[in-house]
Amino acid sequence: MKKLFLASVARNILSMFVESLDRPTSKFKVAFIPTAGNVIKENEFILEDRKKLVDLGFNLVDINLENKKKSQLLEEMNGVDVIFVAGGNTFYLLQEVLKSKFNEIVESFVERGGIYIGSSAGTLLAGPSIELAKNIDNLEDAPDLKSCTGLGLVDFVILPHYDDEEFKKKIDENLKKYKCNYKVIKITDNQAVWVDGDDYKIISSAPITNNFKNNN
């Protein structure tokens, strides 16, 4: 059954994810993918998400997608239970995902019951399109990217950082500018969308409704 934890800022809410696990975090091997942040100078947020995972007791293996073949990634990811895709430039991330065929790995991994965690760009990547990141992330960092089609792990687009005034303004502008044929879910930096099979719920460190919604 498909399981995804799609956050705006993962470190702010990972503790709630841990509460749902059926065994200790020390029993989980996590593939940590920092690639989206590699083209951003001030990318301390990558280290902060990674540190949170370590502090929570997960076993991490760091895997970059640049200049990798699918066979190399499969070897590096052998035995992982969780894929964590960190934030950064969503366009650059998708470019490297497609070059390395990481998208094929993730699709198969999720189908087999592996857990996918996204943070910011990693969350937007999971949807059907990343087009709504235009004018937010720098498209020029991904000169080889030919399409904005995302992983399609869910059939809706999750837009993070909606409580940040700068991001909120750009998101609202993009929603008006670009035709979006998908359901859009806007989340704050203390929220995540937890997907379990065909159902999903928005969870938050602040009190909100946590009832599952059917995604059909």
* pLDDT tens per residue across span 57-111: 999 999 999 999 999 999 999 999 999 999 999 999 999 999 999 999 999 999 9
Other CB atoms within 10 A of residue 15 CB? 12
User: Which is it for the CA torsion 169, 11, 87, 43, positive or negative?
Assistant: positive
The length of the chain is 216
What is the pLDDT at residue 212? 45
Query: Would the pLDDT of 216 be above 50?
Result: no
Pairing of strands 191-196, 3-7: antiparallel
| Unique residue bearing structure tokens 């947020």 | 45
Q: Kindly provide the residue ranges of all beta strands, DSSP E only, lying in 65-104, ordered along the sequence.
A: 82-85
Torsions phi, psi for 213 (to 5 deg)? -120, 140
Q: Where are the alpha helices (DSSP H) in the chain?
A: 14-18, 44-55, 70-76, 90-100, 102-111, 121-125, 165-177
Q: Are 119 and 93 in contact (CB under 8 A)?
A: no
CA atoms within 13 A on the CB side of 194: 19
What is the pLDDT at residue 180? 79
Topology given in CATH for the domain delimited by 3-214: Rossmann fold (3.40.50)
Q: What would the pLDDT profile of 117-174 be if each residue is shown by its tens digit? A: 999 999 999 999 999 999 999 999 999 999 999 999 999 999 999 999 999 999 999 9
Query: Would the pLDDT of 56 be above 60?
Result: yes
- Which positions ≥6 away from 54 have C-beta within 8 Å? 60
Domain ranges of the chain: 3-214
CA atoms within 13 A on the CB side of 120: 25
CA 130 to chain centre: 11
Return d(Cα 211, Cα 102) in angstroms, integer. 32
pTM for the full model?
0.93
Determine the straight-line distance between the first and last CA of the chain, rounded to whole angstroms: 15
